[in-house]
Chains A and B, each alone.
Chain A
C-alpha cells in the first residue's frame, strides 16, 4: 500500500476521489488494517481527521458524528448526558460500523445495524449522497446506509453517521464465573441469554484453563443485585475481549454461530475461543492448517466464518457464501463503484 492521504472534511474527500487517485483503501485510524485482505497498490485514505460530533440531541437520543471520531471520545461526550451507544466495539465510529465484527444482536445485545439511522456518504467517483434520516424512525427511500455495516469500506465512504442512542442504565454490575467445563459453560451462557433482561455484553471464553462466562447485568439496581444473587454470579472487574490475537504462526477466525450449536461444536475445535451473546465468535488456532480444518466443521454446524488475522494472502477466506448473495454483492459493487476503486 502506498502512503496515506488524510482528508480533513467531506468536501476534501469528495474532491480527492473525483481526482481519480487510483485504487483506494479507506481506513479510520487503521486499527483493522491487519484484519483485511491485502490491497496491493492502493492508496490508503485515512478518515481520522473527520472526527467531529456534529450534533448530539440528548432529548431525541440521537447524534450525528464524523467517521473518524474515536469511540472513546463519543463515549465520554455521551456519558455527560447520561447516554450510551449500546453496542460493543472500538476504534473510530466509521471503522466500527464498516468493519462491524458483530453479529445479529440478540437478547439484550443491540447490533450496530439497529443503531445506524442514516448517513451522508461519498461514492468512489466523488458523488456525495444521503440515505436514511436523523430521526429514530424513517422508511423514506431505500436504506443504502445499511450497506455500510460490514462493507469494510468497499462500497462507499461514510462522512457523517446518524446514530441512535440509549439512556445509560441506572445500575450495572460485571460478573465472571470461571473454571467451567464446556457443557456447563454453554448451559450457563444460554440461561443468561434467557434472563428477563439478559446481560450485555455477555461472553463465553474457552482458554487452556477451561471455560469462563463473563458479562454485565444492567438496569434498575434492584434487578441487577437480585439477578447476581439468584444466579450466584460473583462480581468481577470488567474484562470483555474485543478481538483475539493470533498465536505465533497461527490465525484467528471470526464468525457467527447459533449458541445452541456450541456444545457439539466447541469440543471439535481446538484453540482459544470467545463467543458473544449476539452469536459472534472468534477462534484463535495454532496454524493455517488448523484454520483450514476448522472452516468445514463450522459450516457443518450452520456457522459462518472467515480468516481475519493471518498472513495477508489468507485473510478473507472463509465458509462459502450463498451464490445468490454473492451475485447480488458483485452487482451492488458494480452499481456503486463501477471502476472498482475501493479496495
Chain B
C-alpha cells in the first residue's frame, strides 16, 4: 500500500528533492535516538540540507507551519539532545561537511557544521596546526554538535573547551533569519556582548549553526606522556593536587580506577596498565622542549612522593598511543561488563576529588551497583559509570537511584551536574539541583529571544515552563551500552 504523503513532506521535497527528505517510518529508524538510547522517538521526517540557503528555506517553511525541528550532527550526544519528538523534523547536517577556509597566519578555520572534529585537525596537520577540543568521540562527532554541547575532552584542561575556540558562527534562527555572531576577527565587536559564547552549549535550542569559525592551535614543540600507578585512589588524587599545587599546567590529567583498569586489561584496549593498581594516572605535558623536560621531573617527583607503584614514560609516539589506548577504550571495555552502562558526568572542585570519590563509592555500595570511575582529574570532571542489566527493573532502579545521589554529591560539594555531556532530555529533572526556578526562568527568557515560538529542539536543556516545579520527578534515563570503539571521555 502506498504511504500517504503529507503536504509538509511534499513541500520539503520541493525544496530539497526526494533524495534528501526521508519520511518513511522504516528509514527513520537511524534517527530515533542519540548515544542516550533510553529516550527514543521516531521523528516526523529527516531532511538533509547542503547549504545555508537550504537550511533557511526549510526553517522558513517549518516556521510558517509551526512545525518543531531538531538540528542533528553525528548523533553521539549522551543526553538525548538531538532526539526528536514525533511531531518534529530532524535537520541532519552531515552533508554540510566542507572546510570553507583555513587561515594559517591568523590561526582560524571556517567550517560547515557537519565537519567531523578529527577531520578538521587532519585538514590542517600539514600546517603544523590542530583543533584543540578533543572529545573522545572526535573521530565521529561534528563541529556543529561540539559547538551546541560546548564539548570538552582530555586536553581541555590546558586548552579550554569548545567555547574557548569558537570565534563566530553563522546561525539560521528558527524563523529562517540569518545572524552572524562573531567572525574571524573575534567573537564580538566592541560594545557587543559575547553572543557566540552564549550560543555555545545551547544544545540545539537557539537555531542552526551553518558556518562555524574556530581557532586553530599550533602543534606543541614537544609532548611527554607519563603513567603512574598507585596502591590507592587517595594517592592518585593527592598526586593530582600536588601537580596542580606546584603551578604545573599539564595538557591532560586523567585517572582510571581499579575496576576500570581491570576492564581495560581484559579487553581489546589492553594497554599494559598494572592490574593490581588501585588507580592509574595519565599525565600529558606539552610545550617547549626545555620546559616539558623540567616539568616531567617535577611530575615524577610528585608521583614518587605519593608512593607510586610504577612510573612509566612513553618514549615514542607508539608508546604514547598505547598509554592512551586504555584510557580512550575505557568505555568500550566497560560496555562488556553488563548489558547497560549509565554514563554519569558530574563536576566537583578539584580539591574535593578524594572526598567525592569516597562518597560515590559509599553510594555504590549502599545501592549494590557495579561502579567504575574514569575521569578528567585536572578539571574535577567525574564520569562514574554504572554497569547494570536494563532488562531488570530492580537493577535499573538501583542504578538510577545511585546516579541521582551521585549528582547531588557533586552539587553539594560546589560542583555541577554536567561538565560536558549537556542536560538534553536526560538531566531535565536534575537541573533543579543547581538552579532555582527563577534562574531557569531567566534562561528561558534568553532562549525565547532566539526562538520565541519554541520550535527549535523543544523540551531540551531546560524544563518546560510548567515543569519547573516538577524538578523532583524521578529521571527515567539510562545510557545503553556503547558500541565497541571509543567511549565517552
Contact = CB atoms under 8 A, between A and B. Distances in A.
Interface of A: 57-62, 82, 101, 103-107, 111, 113-114, 123, 127-131, 133-144, 146-152, 155, 166-170, 190, 193-194, 196-197, 219-220, 222-223, 226, 254-260, 278-280, 302-306, 308, 316, 318-319, 321-322, 324-325, 327-329, 331-332, 334-336
Interface residues of B, number: 93
Interface in B139-158: 149-150, 152, 156
The 6 A-B residue pairs with the shortest CB-CB distance, nearest first, are A324-B179, A167-B247, A304-B189, A146-B197, A138-B416, A59-B351
A134 B164 contact: no
Contacts of A138: 347, 415-416, 418-419
Nearest to B241: A59
Contacts of B106: 258-260
A137 B450 contact: no
Given A104-B215, A148-B193, A219-B288, A142 B446 contact: yes
Interface of B: 103, 105-107, 149-150, 152, 156, 160-161, 163-164, 167, 171, 173, 177-181, 183-195, 197-198, 200-202, 215, 217-218, 220-221, 241, 244-245, 247-249, 287-288, 290-291, 294-295, 347-351, 376, 379-381, 414-423, 427, 431, 434-436, 438-440, 442-443, 445-450, 452, 461-462
B193 A134 contact: no
A205 to B, nearest CB: 19
B190 A130 contact: no
A96 B416 CA distance: 26
Contacts of A144: 198, 442-443, 446
A197 B336 CA distance: 43
Given A318-B191, A327-B177, A167 B448 contact: no
Contact of B183 (A141, A166, A167, A302): A302
Given A136-B380, A137-B379, A304 B439 contact: no
Given A260-B103, A302-B183, A322-B180, A135 B348 contact: yes
Contact of A140 (B167, B288, B379, B435): B435
A255 B189 contact: yes
Contacts of A257: 185
A327 B347 contact: no
A57 B241 CA distance: 12
Given A325-B195, A328-B195, A170 B247 contact: yes
A130 B436 contact: yes
Given A197-B287, A220-B294, A258-B184, A140 B191 contact: no
B436 A143 contact: no
Nearest to B105: A260
A336 B445 contact: yes
Given A140-B435, A190-B105, 17 more contacts: A57-B351, A82-B247, A137-B156, A137-B420, A138-B415, A138-B416, A142-B443, A144-B198, A149-B193, A152-B191, A155-B193, A169-B247, A219-B291, A302-B183, A316-B191, A331-B450, A332-B446
B349 A57 contact: yes
Contacts of B415: 133-135, 138
B349 A135 contact: yes
Contact of B171 (A139, A256, A302, A324): A324
22 contacts: A58-B245, A60-B349, A104-B167, A113-B197, A129-B439, A137-B152, A137-B347, A137-B376, A140-B434, A140-B435, A142-B198, A142-B447, A142-B461, A149-B193, A167-B247, A168-B247, A194-B218, A196-B287, A255-B189, A256-B190, A258-B185, A324-B179
Contacts of B177: 324, 327
Contacts of A170: 247
A332 B179 CA distance: 14
Nearest to B177: A324
Contacts of A335: 445-446, 448-449
Given A138-B418, A146-B193, A167-B247, A131 B439 contact: yes
Contacts of B419: 135, 137-139
A275 B291 CA distance: 29
Contact of B192 (A113, A150, A167, A331): A150
Given A140-B434, A142-B447, A196-B220, A61 B244 contact: yes
B436 A332 contact: no
A135 B412 CA distance: 12
A139 B189 contact: no
Contacts of A136: 347, 350, 379-380
B433 to A, nearest CB: 9
A175 to B, nearest CB: 17
B349 A134 contact: yes
B105 A140 contact: no
Contacts of A306: 189-191
A150 B349 contact: no
A283 to B, nearest CB: 12
Contacts of A254: 190
